[in-house]
């Protein structure tokens, strides 16, 4: 497939508000590939928090705004399996009784891709020339793996990082216990789940745990910090941008 001249980025709420360095890394990746980046500055939330909490009217309002902003973009890329799953699978559900908006939702859903999915499946790229001197393990986020079926793409990209040793942790595909509202409604269950996840990460011997959803990594980083663990949490874009040094 011929490389596109540009991509339009959807940057998630957590990246925009708490982890802007992840957004910067995504831009750096595309700039290194010679692909221009378009970033609509009036973009907001995709509506997933409202949808997951059962507020369908509010989720539809957010979805309409997303569609209006992005429907003219040739391709939309987001560094989040969770948000892409929302656009690709839940937007059509939200408008199943509204034929006009349903058609627009399906058009936007068809051209929205998660970052690693776009790099590997669409651009056909696995080696971005990144390097990292250390051991890396990977956490499969639920919406990415089970919702979008993306598991091999991030692993292929990580395996190509020069100087890095990739270690598969035990039960990499198990949930970290975050789940947005789930962690608020069921804190005891959420805590037990992240404890199990963190134990697997520490047992792997990795210096860094990475993934494609910053929400999961934020949850994991909180537990690692409370344990005083030196294991770092980095979004996969930060490693692929090739700027990270081992600390």
Classify residue 219 by burial, with Cβ atoms within 10 Å: 0-12, 13-18, 19+: buried
Give me the pLDDT at residue 4, please: 67
Summarised one tens digit per residue, pLDDT across range 163-199 is 999 999 999 999 999 988 888 889 999 999 999 999 9
Summarised one tens digit per residue, pLDDT across range 104-151 is 999 999 999 999 999 999 999 999 999 999 999 999 999 999 999 999
Residue-level length of the chain: 247
Tell which wins on pLDDT, 134 or 4. Answer: 134
How much is the mean pLDDT over the chain?
A: 95
Q: What is the mean pLDDT of residues 60-75?
A: 98
Q: What is the mean pLDDT of residues 13-28?
A: 97
Q: What is the mean pLDDT of residues 206-219?
A: 97
Distance in angstroms (rounded) separating the CA atoms of residues 1 and 132: 29
Summarised one tens digit per residue, pLDDT across range 217-245 is 999 999 999 999 999 999 999 999 986 66
Give me the pLDDT at residue 3, please: 58
Q: How does 64-79 read in b/e, with b if 16+ C-beta sit within 10 Å?
A: bbbbebbeebebbbbb
Q: Residue 2 pLDDT > 60, yes or no?
A: no
Give me the pLDDT at residue 152, please: 98
Distance in angstroms (rounded) separating the CA atoms of residues 43 and 63: 11
Give me the pLDDT at residue 242, please: 86
Q: What is the mean pLDDT of residues 22-39?
A: 97
Tokens of 193: 């789940």
**Residue 133 carries which DSSP code?**
E
Q: Do residues 95 and 26 make contact, with C-beta atoms less than 8 angstroms apart?
A: no
Give me the pLDDT at residue 184, please: 85
Give the strand pairing for 232-235 and 131-138: unpaired
Q: Where are the beta strands (DSSP E) in 71-195?
A: 76-78, 112-114, 131-138, 162-167
Predicted confidence band of residue 80 (pLDDT cuts 50, 70, 90):
very high
Give me the pLDDT at residue 246, please: 64
Q: Residue 204 pLDDT > 70, yes or no?
A: yes
Q: Residue 247 pLDDT > 80, yes or no?
A: no
């Amino acid at each position: 497939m011929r490389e596109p001249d540009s991509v339009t980025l959807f940057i998630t709420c957590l990246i925009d508000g708490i982890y802007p360095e992840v957004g910067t890394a995504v831009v750096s990746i595309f700039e290194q590939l010679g692909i221009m980046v378009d970033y609509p500055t009036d973009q907001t939330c995709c509506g997933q928090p409202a949808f997951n909490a059962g507020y369908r009217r509010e989720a539809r309002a957010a979805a309409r705004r997303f569609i209006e902003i992005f429907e003219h973009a040739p391709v939309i890329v987001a560094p989040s399996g969770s948000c892409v799953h929302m656009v690709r699978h839940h937007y059509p559900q939200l408008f199943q009784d509204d034929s006009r908006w349903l058609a627009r939702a399906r058009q936007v859903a068809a051209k929205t891709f998660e970052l690693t999915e776009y790099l590997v499946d669409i651009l056909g790229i696995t080696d971005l020339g990144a390097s990292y001197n250390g051991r890396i393990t990977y956490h499969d986020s639920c919406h990415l793996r089970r919702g979008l079926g993306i598991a091999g793409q991030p692993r292929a990209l990580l395996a190509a990082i020069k100087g890095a040793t990739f270690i598969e942790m035990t039960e990499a595909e198990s949930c970290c216990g975050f789940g947005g509202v789930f962690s608020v409604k069921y804190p005891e269950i959420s805590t037990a789940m992240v404890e199990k996840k963190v134990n697997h990460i520490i047992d792997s011997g990795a210096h860094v745990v990475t993934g494609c959803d910053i929400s999961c990594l934020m949850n994991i980083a909180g537990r690692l910090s409370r344990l005083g663990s030196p294991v770092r949490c980095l979004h996969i874009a930060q490693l692929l941008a090739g700027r990270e040094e081992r600390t």
